[in-house]
Amino acid sequence: MMAGHSLWWWYLAICSLSIMGSMMRFYILQVEKTNITPYNRPESKTLGDLPTVMTTQRASTARYTVRTTLSPVVRAKQMRQVTLHCKTVCSKSAADICVPLDLAIFVYKNDTPTDNMTFNLQKYNPVVHIARESNTSHESSVLDVERCNLEEHFPGVELIPRQTSCAVIGNSGILNNSSCGDYINSHDFVIRANMGLIKGYESDVGKKSSLNAFNRGLLTAYGNAFLKSKEIAEKPEILLRFLEHIRTLKESILWYPKHLVKSGGVHPASQQYRAVIDTIKKNGLSGIRFAFNWKPIQVEKAWGLPMGSATLGLDMYAVARTFCSNISLFGFYPFYKDLEGRAVKYHYFDNGKFNFSLKTGHHFALEHTKLKELEKQGKLNLVVRDCKPKKHILV
């Protein structure tokens, strides 16, 4: 009886094992048919495997891409393209200076070829990719930010570092016999206008030159002459006079503060400026650098002046305030007689005549009044008298 019962259990066990084997074979066949793959633990990602946010720049004819590693949380989000509107631009290479973008002077690096000086960064807003905040398509394509980084967002150019003291030199005849040369030279940074002559006037206007601004009229005169080789051949004195002055500037920056680009075509000023640059470089004057503004300088609204009426001198002072701690103005004097009643020439370096009472588009007297007000507030030093060498102390 016991033996029969044992055989019965053995029979049930064998049948069960046979059924289980058949089921396992059937399951394996089904897996192979449906290409089901087993789960594998993902390998941990290294820093280089993380996705990046892209900042795409077009400077001159080159294309620059800046990559910034995102955190694992951000990389899970969908990216979107936005245009940055920066209030200020900061530069680590210029001792971490930050200046208002609207007044920023961009200086091309010394090794930039003339062909790459297209001034395409004028009024250019950086385009970046950032994490999308939601899945909707209503997010703004513009991102207002307090600061942009020059090296990342505006490659190929530099800012002027902060200066302790700056002298801004106008061209008024008030400088004749002023003996202000040594006082001007004592400043850390000297800004000059419209290629005012230095040679032969050093005792009155100094010899130091850091930044040289020029207006539309001067750019047109020289630029067109250099674009037309026939004109230079017929009037070689134009080129000789220009190069003689440029040599006195030594290692200085040449700066045009107005429009250089336009949508849908080439701005004439851009062609003229590049002709000037090319002429300087071809004549071996490698110490000269070239600059332009992110936005063409227009200070009239801030100064309460009619649009288009500000002088180059006022543009120079407005920009100097962004990187100079202490500013002295020389040669800013739109009157026929000085404070002692002596006659004053229009320019210290020539005998040109000018009628300040004529409506020329500029408001000389109004600008002078506003500068006097700023002097009373301690924001500048307006020098309109003869200088006494070695008695002026900068603070």
CATH number at 183 reads: 3.90.1480.20
Region of 220 (left: φ > 0; alpha: ψ -120 to 50; beta: rest) is: alpha
> Is 245 tagged catalytic?
no
Co-location of 244 and 177 in the same domain: yes
Higher pLDDT residue, 80 or 164? 164
Co-location of 58 and 90 in the same domain: yes
Provide the domain limits for residue 108.
Answer: 47-158
Co-location of 253 and 320 in the same domain: yes
Contact in structure between 312 and 169 (CB atoms under 8 Å): no
Which residue among the candidates 153, 187, 347, 362 is catalytic per the annotation?
Answer: 362
Co-location of 187 and 98 in the same domain: no
**Residue 182 belongs to a domain:** yes
pLDDT at residue 79 in the model: 86
Segment 108-141, tens digit of pLDDT: 999 999 999 999 999 999 999 888 776 666 778 9
Q: Mean pLDDT of all residues in the chain?
A: 83
Segment 324-348, tens digit of pLDDT: 999 999 999 999 999 999 999 999 9
pLDDT at residue 333 in the model: 96
Q: State which of 158, 177, 200 marks the end of a domain.
A: 158
Mean pLDDT of 25-30: 48
Q: Which is nearest to 270 in space by CA: 220, 204, 312?
A: 220
**Residue 19 belongs to a domain:** no
Co-location of 194 and 251 in the same domain: yes
Tell me which amino acid residue 188 is: D
Q: State which of 105, 133, 158 marks the end of a domain.
A: 158
Count of domains observed in the chain: 2
Confidence check: pLDDT of 59 > 50: no
Co-location of 235 and 325 in the same domain: yes
Q: Which is nearest to 379 in space by CA: 324, 313, 307?
A: 324
Q: State which of 108, 138, 158 marks the end of a domain.
A: 158
**Residue 74 belongs to a domain:** yes
Contact in structure between 331 and 174 (CB atoms under 8 Å): yes
Whole-model pTM: value is 0.78
The neighbour count for residue 134, using CB atoms within 10 Å, is 9
CA distances to 49, 55, 141 from 79, rounded to whole Å, are: 17, 12, 12
Co-location of 264 and 172 in the same domain: yes
Cα torsion through 71, 75, 78, 84, rounded to 10: 40
Co-location of 129 and 191 in the same domain: no
Co-location of 87 and 200 in the same domain: no
